Each structure stands twice: as structure tokens, then as C-alpha cells.
Structure 1
């Protein structure tokens, strides 16, 4: 049995490294997509760009019983009330929102919450502020 080296010569190693550097290092290095077949085709004249997002009421993915604006506002509430504040009462929610640098309008809404009530989820807080959550589908 003959045992030979499985290593390449340094010149071959360098050449192989250059061939895959764009794939390994990603698009930020300028070395990717060097081959023509790797360049994505542009959208057609009558086709929207892939990054286009439909906004407003026609946007899909909103839960039943909520508008896309409701979803966005509840999401904002969830960004400033973290899971460490839940379950929590009005004081804990306000402290957490202030710690997370919530905007003044959101803090004013949280000030309206009744004292002495503990909230388990952001959805419960949202409902206590007088907004609708999604309806359950059976």
C-alpha cells in the first residue's frame, strides 16, 4: 500500500482559495458573483422588484379581526415591553418601557392602565388599552 500526500502544492492551494473566496467571504468583499451565471436576472419591465412590499389594508398576513395598523401598533408595544416585565402590573410595565426608551405617546397610553391589575402578555395589555386582538378561528 502506497501512502502519498493528499495535500496540494502551495500554488494550487492559492489558486483554489481564490476560486472560492467570493463564496466563502460573501458579497461585501467584492469577490462574489464574478461569474456571469451567478448574477441574478433583473425584473422584467412589467414586473415589480423583489423588494417591493404591498402596504395598507391589502397587505396579507394580518390576523382576522385586526388591521395592519393594529398589528404594527401592537408590535411597537411589544418592542418596548419586554418579557422580563411580564407578568407585571402598570408600574412594572411603565418602568420597563422607560428603561427601553419608549416614545412619550406609548408611555402616556400605559399611564392609562388601571392600577392593581397584573398582565400576563402583551396582548392582554393591548386589550386593556381598549384595542382589539385577533379573533380565534375554530
Structure 2
């Protein structure tokens, strides 16, 4: 492997810094050369989905509100993957090890005894909440 000098003069340094200025500073549409433009999505990639006219996209899956998604996610943060599948006692013990707040522990204590849960979604449903009916 040959190692040569990669140094160049101040004029070339300035020219090179101007060529990449838009990329470094993140300003849109500032590509110096056409080949640097982002390519459009390919034929095998799905089209971006849009909400029907007059309907706002909330970011929540069908059948759940954004608050439901946030609460289920919050519950899942305190249940480690090592606890699943697991019953109420396993989930409680794991949540306590993950320093879950009192309200999460109280929810887990409401779970039926003797049932083994495979996923956080199953735990969420057993607590009386709704999961998504379908993904987008």
C-alpha cells in the first residue's frame, strides 16, 4: 500500500469546502453537482401513504389513539424481553428490577394470575385496553 502526501494548497482547500458547504450545513437544494441529488424511490418501494381527503393522519395505528400508543409503549419500557413469555409474577419482578414507577406496578398487579403473556400487546389487552386493528 502506497502512502503519499494528501496535502494541497489553500486555494484548493477553499474550493473543496465550497463544494461541500450545502451538505455540511444541511441546507436543502444546495447540491453542487447533479449526481449528488437524492434519487427518487424505486419501483419496488411502496408509495408513501396519504390520509383520505379531510382526514388527518395522527400517527397512531387504526383502533388506537396516540395516547394509547404512548401508554402501551411506556408499559413496554419496563417489561424486558427476558420476562416474556411470562406470568404476572415474572412481569412484576422484571418491572421492579427495571425500576418501574408505582402506577405501572399497580397495573401489572391487576393482571390475571396463572396466565402466561407472550407480548406487551397481550399484557396491554389483558389490562382492558385496545390494540390496533391493523397496521396502516
TM-score by length of 2: 0.62
Partner residue of 2:4?
Answer: 7
Moved runs in structure 1, 4+ residues, more than 3 A?
A: 35-38
- Deviation digits for residues 18-59 of structure 1, max 9, x if unmatched? x6xxxxxxxxxxxx99x75443449xxxxxxxxxxxxxxx66
Shift of 1:62: 0.7
User: Structure 1: any 5+ residue segments left out of the alignment?
Assistant: 20-31, 43-57
Number of equivalences: 100
> 2:108 pairs with 82, 88, 110, which one?
110
RMSD: 2.9
User: Whole-Å Cα distance in 1 between the matches of residues 57 and 103 of structure 2?
Assistant: 26
User: Whole-Å Cα distance in 2 between the matches of residues 63 and 82 of structure 1?
Assistant: 23
Tell me which of the two structures has the higher relative contact order, counting C-alpha pairs closer than 8 angstroms and 6 or more residues apart.
Answer: 2
More helix by share: 1
User: Whole-Å Cα distance in 2 between the matches of residues 122 and 62 of structure 1?
Assistant: 17
> 2:86 pairs with 62, 85, 88, which one?
88
Partner residue of 2:60?
Answer: 62
Q: Is this contact kept in 1: 2:61–2:134, CA < 8 A?
A: no
User: Structure 2: any 5+ residue segments left out of the alignment?
Assistant: 29-55
Shift of 1:133: 0.3
Partner residue of 1:122?
Answer: 120
TM-score by length of 1: 0.62
Q: Rate the CA distance shift 1:86–1:36 in 2: closer, same or farther, 3 A.
A: closer
